[in-house]
Amino acid sequence: MASLVGGAALGGVFGEVFNVLHDTVKSIGSNALKFKPILKKLKFNLDLLDPVVKEITQFNKILDHREEETNSLIEDMRKATELIGMLDNQELDYPSQASFGIELAELNESIVTFFLLHIPALNRRDILQILEKQALNRRDILQILEKQNFLCKRMESLAIKSGATCVVPPPPEFTVGMDLPLMVLKTQLLNEKRQQILLTAPGGCGKTTLVKMLGHDQKIKEENLRTIYFVPVSKNFDLKVIAQRLYQYISHQVPEFQSDEDAINQLREGLTKIGSNPILLILDDVWSGSESRLKKFMFDIPNYNILVNSRTALPGFSYTYYLNPLNDDYATMLLHHSASLQHESPNIPVEAINKIVRGCGGFPLALEVIGRLLNENPVEAWCSIAENWSNSHYIFNSNSDLLDCLRKSLEISDHDVIFKECFMDLGSFPQGQWIPVAALIDMWVELHKLDEVGNDAIYKLHKITTRNLANLVRKRKDAGKINKYYNEDYVTQHDLLRELAIFESCQGPERQRQRLIMDISGNTLPSWCTEQDQQPIDARLLSISTDESFSSPRFNIQAPKVEVLVLNFQTKNYSYSLPEFVDTMDNLKVLIITNYGFFPTELRNFQQLNSLPDLKTIRLEKVSIPSLFKAPVLLKNLKKISLFMCNIGQAFGNCAIKVSDALPNLMEINIDYCNDLVELPAVLCDVILLKTLIITNCHQLSTLPNEVGKLVNLEVLRLRSCTDLSELPESITGLKNLRLLDISDCLSIRHLPKEIGELCKLEEIHMKGCLSLRNKLPPSTTNLEQLKLVICDEERAKFWEPINEVLTNLEVKVAEKDINLTWLLKP
């Protein structure tokens, strides 16, 4: 049975209009070839929705909703049917063709937007009303719920993994000084049918902003119905990854290329099949050294254009545009805007503003960072900074000079030493990747002695964000008070600001640095780490990033003081080995391993960790773990393990020793997006010191073992978005120290444990989106005397009304409906 997708609200009229439109798109003749890319996307969306719409009419018999809710969409589809019928007319003039193409593209976006944003709200309402009328049997209803919500979650998971969108991101709302460069690039594109354009300037000059404006320019879109693709590249120009991303977006298929040559050949074929309309491929932030791989994307296809944005004036382009910094007038306007000043600010001396503008050298990024820093600061701060900067010598004559300027903005940030250290730690992660807040918390607990809860970390990140040195992306707002949830929060950072973080970390000889960040390209290693007579390093944080061409050559690092080790890798192989020197890192407390490839990679030689007496925290991402303890591994001081997007179905099986003996002091387990987890291994319930168990977005998880009641010290149990989990075992009532229970968006849970009232220390319950929970709460719920907060949806809140009469101190909070699509942007 298909999901509801707001079927009752859509009704029979929608089905008829939809079918006519679908048939019209499928039968369009050869004269509409100019519109083939748009029609292909429209047909793809309609094909996906067709089986769903066919079942909508049955729900219309159950609920009596007015068609007015979707009249606008119905009218759009009727107009589109007429419009498509006219496309077969050979006598359409060029302006009409352009106008029709734009209208079709807007219609396609309307359909996607409607089904992504509007339908979920209608869907939830319809489901609840159907349940109230009992018009369908309960089993069918649950099947509908599970399929619809499971699909949504899997789409989210896939979007996080693949990042396959190639849509041009929107430009900033406020820009200055870009009109002339935009006009020049537009003129060049419109005058030539096939060309290769290079846009070059130092980092922070506004290149990416300019290409975003170009991609959203109406005239560029209208001209011959141009198709535009946008792909961020950054330092590691991975040809197969870029080709895979483009091919997936164009053809809606995910191929596995056998080689770089195969990837290019298939991508060329895919682009050729799009049609005769002009194509513009924008490759953003291409680094020097990528010339040979870049050349492979310069296809000999009619009407094919490529625009490359780079800090380096790369050779081999038919046209090169050098983007200059802003002049003083535009720079002053941007500084005023960033600092929230009025057009004229009599309180701030003009001389001080002029000095700061000249010091920023016309670089938009520097102006925005400094303007935000000076926002709401007194006149004295402006004068002080202007005076200090006036002694510098043309700071921005080169990219390194720009870094010097940004370094000054970091130095004047309240003289907060830990704040600066936290900012520099961001350079430990690869360029262009989202940094998990949970990983930063793990690092900072040990390096800077911040609290384990995460309050200090979020405060530091907020300070970094308010100074435009990074961006904090928070997917959901957690209204709870116990054990804040940060597993879905990330930090993003401009490449130039990451360079600033690394630049700050690279002061002094390598062996004497407190933070050693190694970006290894191929097998090229620093000479000092291949010396036979190896001297120890002083670093407390060691970050090693390797690319796909790294073949694990032997190298040695003596790191007796390292407390945090960050390993970032991509690999062609199906396995990854820990560096041999890891077993000598006696002071290591935190290990973070992240695979940035497309598929999970098997982690070998895990037994090396056996010799690390102080290891407290392990975080693994996109790693396949056949068995954690196939060979005896004793991690007696390990307190926390986090597994994100890992294959862990067999991780705790075939153990040579008991898990409780291998992890006797484990206190926290985080499992997120591990889709092969069907049942929580019962052996984990022998780790009786466990205080926090978090299992989220594991959509295959269907049961918890009865042994979960043995976790007598457990204080936090989160089972968020485990869509197949049908019930909580009655043994859960043995968790006498449990303070928080989170079953939010567990769609299949039908009831709470009968004796839930025995959870005598329970303070919070989170249960929004438990759509199958339709019965009254167990009578024992009134025994939860310590319960202070319940977070749920409006429908479940009604069940708590009689409980609230007994538990008068209980706050029942209805969760805000938060439609957040930030995860779609994740690379």
pLDDT tens digits, one per residue of 258-282: 889 999 999 998 888 877 778 899 9
Per-residue pLDDT tens for 368-406?
878 887 887 888 888 877 776 644 333 333 345 556 656
Cβ atoms of 151 and 165 closer than 8 Å: no
Which has the minimum average pLDDT: 126-135, 620-629, 789-798?
126-135
H helices within 312-378, ranges in order?
A: 328-338, 350-360, 364-374
Ramachandran angles phi, psi of 398, nearest 5°? -145, 175
Task: Give the per-residue SS3 of 502-516.
Answer: HHHHCCCCHHHCCEE
Closest CA to 339 of 381, 365, 366, 370: 370
pLDDT, position 273: 81
**To the nearest whole percent, how much of the chain has pLDDT over 70?**
75
Please give the distance of CA 719 from its chain centroid, rounded to a whole number.
21
pLDDT band for position 193 (cuts 50, 70, 90): confident
Per-residue pLDDT tens for 239-252?
988 998 888 878 76
pLDDT, position 528: 78
pLDDT band for position 54 (cuts 50, 70, 90): low
Stretch 735-754: mean pLDDT: 94
pLDDT, position 153: 44
**Residues facing 491 on adjacent strands:** 435, 472
Give the Cα separation of 183 and 186 in Å (integer).
Answer: 5
**To the nearest whole percent, how much of the chain has pLDDT over 90?**
33
- Encode burial over 476-488: b for 16+ CB neighbours within 10 A, e otherwise: bebebeebebbbb
Residue 181 has pLDDT above 90, yes or no: yes
Closest CA to 374 of 336, 421, 418: 336
**Residues facing 620 on adjacent strands:** 593, 643
Ramachandran angles phi, psi of 590, nearest 5°? -130, 130
Residue 743 has pLDDT above 50, yes or no: yes
Rounded to two decimals, what is the model's pTM? Answer: 0.67
What's the chain's length in residues? 827
**Residues facing 814 on adjacent strands:** 792
Q: Hey, how many other C-beta atoms are within 10 angstroms of the C-beta on 697? A: 24
pLDDT band for position 309 (cuts 50, 70, 90): very high
pLDDT, position 520: 85
Residue 523 has pLDDT above 70, yes or no: yes
Q: Which residue has the higher pLDDT, 673 or 556?
A: 673
Coil/strand/helix, residue 344: coil
Please give the distance of CA 752 from its chain centroid, rounded to a whole number.
33
- Residues 8, 9, 12, 15, CA torsion sign: negative
Residue 144 has pLDDT above 60, yes or no: no
Please give the distance of CA 129 from its chain centroid, rounded to a whole number.
35
Q: Hey, how many other C-beta atoms are within 10 angstroms of the C-beta on 293? A: 17
pLDDT, position 753: 95
Give the Cα separation of 746 and 725 in Å (integer).
Answer: 7
| DSSP assignment of 428-471 | GS-TTPPEEHHHHHHHHHHHS---TTSHHHHHHHHHHHHTTS-E
pLDDT, position 163: 41
Residue 699 has pLDDT above 60, yes or no: yes
Q: How far is CA 491 from CA 373, 617, 773, in A?
A: 19, 20, 35
Stretch 437-459: mean pLDDT: 90
36, 39, 40, 43: CA torsion to nearest 10: -160
* Helical packing angle, 437-447 and 455-466, nearest 10°: 110
Residue 145 has pLDDT above 60, yes or no: no
Q: How far is CA 502 from CA 150, 288, 426, 462, 513, in A?
A: 41, 19, 8, 20, 12
